[in-house]
Amino acid sequence: MKFNKLGFFLAGSILLGGCSSSNDPEEIQQAVLQVTPDEIASTVSLRLQDETGAGVAGVIVSVDDRDLGLIDDASAELTTNEFGFVSIVLADGVSSGSLLVTVDDPGFVEVAQEVILGEEADVEELLTLTALPEAGETAAIVEVNDEGETEEVISLATEQPFVEEVVEVVDDEGIAVSVQGSVSRIEETTADEGEESTVVAEILVPELVELKTEDGEPSVGEITVTAAVYQNSSDVALDAFPGGLEAGDSLENESEAPEVIVSDDAQESDTTGFISAGFVSLEVTDSEGKDITQFDGSTGVDIDGDGVEEQGLLLTSLVSKETINPNTNELVAIGDSIPVWSYDEETAKWTYDGEANVFEEADSDNLRARFAVTHLSYWSLAFRVPYCFGINVVVFRTPDGAVDRRQLSVNTRLDAGYSRTTRVNGDGFLLSIRSPRENVKMTVYDRASGEDIDILTVNGNEYSPEVGYNFCPTDFELLKNVVLEAAPVTVDVNVQVETSCRDESLDEFQAPQAVANSTVYLLDEAGQSVVSSSQSDTDGLLTFSGLDENTAYNIFASDSVTFGPPVVIPFTPGTASDPLVVDFEQECVVTTGSVGGN
For 306-323, the DSSP string reads: SS-PPBSEEEEEEEETT-
| Total residue count of the chain as it appears in this document | 598
Q: What is the pLDDT of residue 159?
A: 30
C-alpha–C-alpha distance, residues 118 and 90, integer Å: 12
pLDDT tens, residue by residue, 517-573: 888 999 988 887 888 888 888 899 999 988 888 899 999 988 777 777 889 999 999
pLDDT tens, residue by residue, 398-416: 999 999 988 898 989 998 8
pLDDT tens, residue by residue, 163-210: 333 334 333 443 333 333 233 444 444 444 445 556 666 776 666 667
> Among 241, 304, 237, which residue's Cα sits nearest to residue 274?
241
Q: What is the pLDDT of residue 598?
A: 43
Residue 247 reports pLDDT greater than 80: no
pLDDT tens, residue by residue, 504-513: 666 666 678 8
C-alpha–C-alpha distance, residues 152 and 207, integer Å: 13
Is the distance from CB of 152 to CB of 140 less than 8 angstroms?
Answer: no
Is the distance from CB of 215 to CB of 280 less than 8 angstroms?
Answer: no
For residue 579, say if its preceding peptide bond is cis, omega within 30 degrees of 0: yes
Q: What is the pLDDT of residue 444?
A: 94
Residue 345 reports pLDDT greater than 70: no
Residue 386 reports pLDDT greater than 90: no
Q: Please tell me which residue, 528 or 124, carries the higher pLDDT value.
A: 528
C-alpha–C-alpha distance, residues 392 and 386, integer Å: 14
- In whole angstroms, what separates CA 293 from the centre of its chain? 25
Could you tell me the pLDDT band of residue 75, with boundaries at 50, 70 and 90? confident
Contacts by 451-458 with C-beta closer than 8 Å and gap 24+? 453/406, 453/408, 453/484, 453/485, 454/484, 454/485, 455/482, 455/483, 455/484, 456/399, 456/483, 456/484, 456/485, 457/481, 457/482, 457/483, 458/482, 458/483
Q: Please tell me which residue, 29 or 79, carries the higher pLDDT value.
A: 79
Residue 126 reports pLDDT greater than 70: no
DSSP state letter for 241? -
What are the sequence ranges of the domains in the chain?
Answer: 139-387, 393-484
| Average pLDDT, rounded, for the chain | 73
Q: Which of 121-130, 193-202, 228-237 is predicted most confidently?
A: 228-237
Helix (H) / strand (E) element for 204: namely: strand 198-205
Strands 85-89 and 40-49: antiparallel
Question: The domain 393-484: what is its CATH number?
Answer: 2.60.40
Q: Helix, strand, coil: what percent of the chain each, to 5?
A: 0, 50, 50
Query: For the chain, how big is the Rg over CA atoms in Å?
Result: 27
Query: For residue 170, how many other CB atoms are within 10 A of its CB?
Result: 12
DSSP state letter for 73? G
pTM of the prediction? 0.70
Determine the 3-state secondary structure of 235 from DSSP.
Answer: helix
C-alpha–C-alpha distance, residues 516 and 11, integer Å: 9
In the chain, the percentage of residues whose pLDDT exceeds 70 is 66
Q: What is the pLDDT of residue 138?
A: 31
Residue 54 reports pLDDT greater than 90: no
**Which range, of 217-226, 422-431, 515-524, averages the lowest pLDDT?**
217-226
**Phi-psi label, residue 177: left if phi above 0, alpha if psi -120 to 50, beta otherwise:** beta
